[in-house]
Structure 1
């Protein structure tokens, strides 16, 4: 079985309407949190910057949460602007739904393919693994990886999932 891996190269852009310039793209850049304490209650936001006008928006992570309900290691990560915590927060579907944005993955991922051994018998079985939840159509991914057209991919491959529906879960196919 030949392993293919879909890897994130950077954080995806956010499809989020800016209140100033009406642009539809924002970025978290290097990823910064803002933590505000009011007595024993904490507010935590992930800061997002508009790509067009540079306005900063706050995306709510925790709102009026008692300090004792937040894991101390997580709170330290918020204060230190931990890149892993930024990525985990940004990729959380509940966080995206709560803050009304979607992720734009264009240019934010790559497909790593090991060289296919020529002595291996055809048909080849390939396993595709996603390190992050990058939504991509399997027919497009296979076509890109093999250098074929999507129609040729549909004709030559057998797959355990529908090829024309975006997925971010691993799958296998035979060509």
Structure 2
């Protein structure tokens, strides 16, 4: 495919996953939201750290364990300072760790909404007839690749599927039903638009 417009998409999820917990105040299973605050408990040289969650209805708290009975000397000073100061970036990283959350509670509510920062790589030629999209993910997201592309490019999912079947859309690394799986770090999508009448509109929407 010649005349490619190469664009990097930096993708960041907007809404942190919410554990579903049996709230002893509400008397039923409720979603809990991350407060962005850590609880650090020191007992001599041993430290326990939790990330505090709150019930969306009654504000009841639940503690998500981060460190348990950890020797203070084994914690990097910068990390310990970040925990003690409720560093927002560190809290966000733990709040979006859906694998760790599931290991604690089993059921987790996930959200597909993301922010996409688009960066053109090199000069975009006016004669560009295709796209190369390079995905960079801040962290895992449950958003399917076809939904991401449809929302950002203004192309229906059925049209994307048809383009994939005709090999006008290729996902690298390839996999079975790649469009229907969540977007992943390092994925590259190449789309041949040479015969598409709305080619320039699609390239513009992509960030080219």
Shorter-chain TM range is 0.7 to 0.9
Structure 2: stretches of 5+ with no match in the other structure: 1-5, 164-168, 192-208
Quote the residue 2:170 is aligned against: 158
Cα offset, 1:152, TM superposition: 0.4
List 4+ stretches of structure 1 deviating above 6 A: none
Structure 1: stretches of 5+ with no match in the other structure: none
Contact (CA 8 Å) 1:44, 1:63: kept in 2 or not? yes
Which whole-Å CA distance do the structure 1 matches of 2:180 and 2:91 have between them? Answer: 31
1:85 counterpart (78, 85, 90): 90
After superposition, the Cα gap between the structure-2 partners of 1:13 and 1:53, relative to the gap in structure 1 and judged at 3 Å, is farther
SS in 2 for 1:163: helix
- Measured against aligned partners, the alpha-carbon deviations of 1:53-103 in whole angstroms (never above 9, x if no partner) come to 211111111112222222222111111011111122223455324423536
Contact (CA 8 Å) 1:4, 1:111: kept in 2 or not? yes
RMSD: 2.5
- Give matches, 1:15-94, under 5 Å: 15-20=19-24, 21=26, 22-29=28-35, 31-92=36-97
Cα offset, 1:153, TM superposition: 0.6
Contact (CA 8 Å) 1:12, 1:106: kept in 2 or not? no
Which protein shows a greater Rg?
Answer: 2
- Measured against aligned partners, the alpha-carbon deviations of 1:11-66 in whole angstroms (never above 9, x if no partner) come to 5131321422334421113x101111223221111101111221111111111222
